[in-house]
Chain A
Amino acid sequence: MAAAAPALLRPYLAVFAGRFLQMLQYRAAAIAGFATQCWWGATKIMIYAAFYATAPQAAGALSLPQVITYTWLAQALLVLAPWNGDPDVALAVRTGAVSFDRVRPVDAYAWRYAAAAAWITARAVPRAALMFALAGVALPLLGLGAWSWQAPADLSAAALFVPSLALAVALSSAFVMLINVCVVATLTDRGINTLMMPLAIIFTGNLLPLQLFPDWARTALFLQPFAGVFDIPFRIYFGQLAGASAALGLALQLGWTAVLAAAGWLWLQRVMRRLQVQGG
């Protein structure tokens, strides 16, 4: 049995590794993405600083250095925001290659999930490394420490951030899989991608830290599934969620991942039974 488990997992690990290495090849895309994210991050930070300078007492739970760190983190990990389906799936739907998913001797959901997780991770790693080098290392060295990406609150925050980030990738992959299934069902990726983008941008906390939204919305924003992608891991990073509340945050991430993955798996079974194939 112990030997059977790795054998069972092997195709999924293989597709993860293959996709990961493939996505790492797109160096120009990574550099372009990094440049865009620097611009975005710098713009946002200057705007936050202007607001904070105008009315510092209104800021609430997040301090300006935290908002700055939040912005760099969110830009570094931008590709975790689940606003697009996997372009490979859209291509497979367009060409009709999606029909091969029915004949592979593996679980179609798990296979595509592993590919989606690799697609996200492989794009995140180089961008995050570049962003950290710039905002975490270069800015303080240039004497711009006030604008830099700062370290986690303490050691336990750092230790909890690691599993929380892993869960963020798992959760984001489950979202991407829901989008993928929708692409297979509707035969095009344009509609669902356009619809998901605003949801993902607002509710992950990419647009604006969720804590800067009005206070009456706080609980609802914390409990909704997108919060697990940015908001919860970043609050753990700042030490705002520690001990029991950090456990709650991690549980929310895990719970939503399970719910979304189950929903995606069931939906894919249905779609695959009556699969429409186009192309030729």
Chain B
Amino acid sequence: MGPIRLLGRYFRASVHAQAQYPGSLAMLSLGAFVANFVDVIAIAALFARFGQVKGWTFGEVAMFYGVVSVAFAFADFLSRGFDVLGTEFIRTGAFDRLLLRPRSLTVQLVGHDPRLSRVGRLAQGLAALALATVALKFRWDASAVALAAWTVLGGVALFSGIFMLQATLAFWTVESLEVANLLTYGGVQAAQFPLSLYAEWFRGVLIFIVPLGCVAYFPVVGLLGRHDPLGAPDWFLPLAPAAGFAFLAAALAVWRVGVRHYTSTGS
């Protein structure tokens, strides 16, 4: 069985299992949408009170937010196995089984327990993009769609890389470390707003260490047709998402080192 069909099987089985608790699933789906929409409520309330923020309007901030949310939703859906690697695989020894199966480790982990609730976050990201479209009277021509899609791809790569690094740490710590939530959930949180609002040291972290700015801020500034107030040249803006792929490549290399280092915890 090829990796794509295998993933399809994994996804179908998981969806079927989650549908066994219909009452819970109904609350979960509704809750996931609302849970992720609360940030938009906060943003809307702030703009209702203050009007705009350092020259950025509500529609523009909704665009930043929508793009990063959509990217994170996809990455989160695909990375659950990496997210829980420490608690569910390494501590229990179940990781040995994954290594024994004659299939790619990555495919098995990507197929592990993809959560339906991520659809809620995706819907919420798309809703934020719809809000932005209406508020800005934004025209989605072919180049805008292409740039947005490329930006989202870069974001998926970056967030998947972060999940992978978090998983790699678990080879040493055995537990899944919450600290990575800083960069995943915290990253989404930080990238919702244009980087020009932040202090310089914080911008530096978000551009050069974990290049969240490159998969959200710079390309979206380009998408909005603005010049970067931080002074990045216009030609750089649409190229920035490539940094997400570079990050993922680096994360994969580190992950391989981790897998080689792995010693079983036993039964």
Q: Is the CB of B49 within 8 A of A32?
A: no
Main secondary structure of the interface of B (DSSP, over half): helix
Q: Is the CB of B189 within 8 A of A43?
A: yes
Q: Is the CB of B38 within 8 A of A207?
A: yes
- Report the minimal beta-carbon distance from A195 to chain B, rounded to whole angstroms: 4
A32-B177, A191-B28 given as contacts; is B50 within 8 A of A202 (CB)? Answer: no
**Of B21, B32, B51, B177, which contacts A54 at CB under 8 A?**
B51
Q: Is the CB of B23 within 8 A of A186?
A: yes
Q: Is B149 an interface residue (CB 8 A)?
A: no
- Please choose the segment from B151-159, B190-198, B234-242 that sits at the chain A interface, where 4 or more of its residues have CB less than 8 A away: B190-198
Q: Is B175 an interface residue (CB 8 A)?
A: yes
Q: Is A24 an interface residue (CB 8 A)?
A: no
Q: Is the CB of A47 within 8 A of B193?
A: yes
Count of A-B residue pairs with CB < 8 Å: 115
Q: Is the CB of A198 within 8 A of B37?
A: yes
Interface string of B154-191 (1 = CB under 8 A from A): 00000000000000000000010111011000100110
User: Which of A33, A39, A201 has the most C-beta atoms of chain B within 10 angstroms of its own C-beta?
Assistant: A39
A47-B193, A187-B21, A190-B24 given as contacts; is B49 within 8 A of A60 (CB)? Answer: yes
Interface residues of A in 205-241 (CB under 8 A from B): 207-208, 212-214
Q: Is B53 an interface residue (CB 8 A)?
A: yes
How far is B49's CA from A55's CA once the two chains are assembled, in angstroms? 9
Residue of B nearest to A51 (CB): B50
User: Which of B49, B175, B182, B198 has the most C-beta atoms of chain A within 10 angstroms of its own C-beta?
Assistant: B49
Residue of A nearest to B194 (CB): A50
Residue of A nearest to B173 (CB): A28
Q: Is A106 an interface residue (CB 8 A)?
A: no
Q: Is the CB of B186 within 8 A of A39?
A: yes
How far is B193's CA from A53's CA once the two chains are assembled, in angstroms? 15
Q: Is the CB of A202 within 8 A of B53?
A: no
Q: Is the CB of B117 within 8 A of A194?
A: yes
Interface residues of A in 59-80 (CB under 8 A from B): 59-60
Count of chain A residues near B, Cβ 8 A: 39
Q: Is A42 an interface residue (CB 8 A)?
A: yes
How far is B23's CA from A252's CA once the two chains are assembled, in angstroms? 32
Q: Which residues on A sit within 8 Å (CB–CB) of B198?
A: 43, 46
Interface residues of B in 6-49 (CB under 8 A from A): 21, 23-28, 30-32, 34-35, 37-39, 41-42, 45-46, 48-49
- Report the minimal beta-carbon distance from B71 to chain A, rounded to whole angstroms: 18
How far is B129's CA from A268's CA once the two chains are assembled, in angstroms? 43
Q: Is the CB of B54 within 8 A of A54?
A: yes
How far is B122's CA from A61's CA once the two chains are assembled, in angstroms? 36
- Report the minimal beta-carbon distance from B155 to chain A, rounded to whole angstroms: 18
Q: Is the CB of B54 within 8 A of A40?
A: no
Interface residues of B in 91-140 (CB under 8 A from A): 117
**Of B30, B48, B53, B193, which contacts A195 at CB under 8 A?**
B30
Q: Is A188 an interface residue (CB 8 A)?
A: yes
Q: Is B1 an interface residue (CB 8 A)?
A: no
A47-B197, A214-B49 given as contacts; is B34 within 8 A of A36 (CB)? Answer: no
A195-B30, A212-B49 given as contacts; is B38 within 8 A of A35 (CB)? Answer: no
Residue of A nearest to B193 (CB): A47
Q: Is the CB of B27 within 8 A of A212?
A: no
Q: Is the CB of B21 within 8 A of A195?
A: no
Q: Is B263 an interface residue (CB 8 A)?
A: no
Q: Is the CB of A213 within 8 A of B197?
A: no
Q: Is the CB of B38 within 8 A of A198?
A: yes
Residue of A nearest to B41 (CB): A202
Q: Which residues on B sit within 8 Å (CB–CB) of A192?
A: 24, 27
Interface string of A90-114 (1 = CB under 8 A from B): 0000000000000000000000000
Q: Is the CB of A195 within 8 A of B38?
A: no
7 CB < 8 A contacts A-B? A50-B193, A51-B46, A55-B51, A186-B24, A191-B31, A195-B28, A195-B31
Residues of A within 8 A of B (CB): 28-29, 32-33, 35-36, 39-40, 42-43, 46-47, 50-55, 58-60, 186-188, 190-192, 194-198, 201-202, 207-208, 212-214
Residues of B within 8 A of A (CB): 21, 23-28, 30-32, 34-35, 37-39, 41-42, 45-46, 48-54, 117, 175, 177-179, 181-182, 186, 189-190, 193, 197-199, 202
- 4 A-B pairs closest in CB distance: A191-B24, A194-B31, A191-B27, A32-B178
Q: In the complex, given contacts A40-B186, A59-B50, what are 10 additional A-B residue pairs having Cβ atoms less than 8 angstroms apart? A: A32-B177, A35-B182, A36-B179, A36-B181, A47-B53, A53-B54, A188-B24, A192-B24, A194-B31, A214-B45
